[in-house]
Amino acid sequence: MPSPFPGMNPYLEQAGLWRGVHTRLLTDLQALLTPQVVPRYFVELEESLYIDPTQDEPRLLGVADVAVSAPGDAAGPGATATVPAPATVTVPGIARKKVRRLVVRDNSSLEVVTVLELLSPSNKQPGADRDRYVEKRHEVLTSRTSFIELDLLRGGKRLPVRPLPTCDYYALVSRWWERPEMGLWPVHLREPLPRIPVPLRRGEPEPLIDLKAAVDRAYDAAGYEYRIYRTAPEPPLAPADAEWARAFVPAAAAG
């Protein structure tokens, strides 16, 4: 069953849920775009892993595959006394983080033609994740690669876009040959999500991806209907918008 909302479903924006929504949406956007670009191009769900050494809280760094023991290790007769250390310390955790995005590649040269980024909450909060994303964004925007940025989150600080109209969500489409000008689709909560073009090579027809169709596929495939309406949307909606949103909550979930 598709999402009951005409546009973005605000209940999908919950912090504890978004990681799964993010991956699901990228997969569904890939499925919607691929039939429109093959065989000349292919759409890849690119995943990169980076190490974030900035975590201050102690973390479990690993679990041993093999434990070495001796007869005297067990408590009881013959057990060896533990020698206490003069101090107790912790080692800051090292967080391994995955970053996912879609890239359109030329099937012959494997050159990246277009990058599609779907923002995460950490991209919109001060810190290392945002700084790293802004740096990657700058690299693409100063290259001969086209760029799409989707912000389907109401919370957090917007990425630099000038001028950015008042909106709840947006889709940014940047054809490399048109920079510094870029196309922007601002969207309000009660408005339908747009169909946006995906730039390929200059002068080539541009396929369209239906953002509402991607949200509907993700909503249905993950069974979100049965588990996302237990709490109010995050961040909170204005009272009038909250009343409007409640009208779309399935009756079974509302009861």
pLDDT tens for each residue of 141-200: 999 999 999 999 999 999 999 888 999 999 999 999 999 999 999 999 999 999 999 999
Range of the domain at 211: 10-56+92-254
Give the Cα separation of 147 and 173 in Å (integer).
Answer: 6
- Quick check: pTM over 0.85? no
Q: Taken in order 131, 134, 136, 139, is the CA torsion positive or negative?
A: negative
Can the peptide bond before residue 10 be classed as cis, meaning omega within 30 degrees of 0? Answer: no
Q: What is the count of structural domains for the chain?
A: 1
In a domain, 80, yes or no: no
In a domain, 157, yes or no: yes
Long-range contacts (CB closer than 8 Å, 24 or more residues apart) made by 82-90: 90/58
Give the Cα separation of 238 and 236 in Å (integer).
Answer: 7
Give the model confidence (pLDDT) of 193-250 as tens digits.
999 999 999 999 999 999 999 999 999 999 999 999 999 999 999 999 999 999 999 9
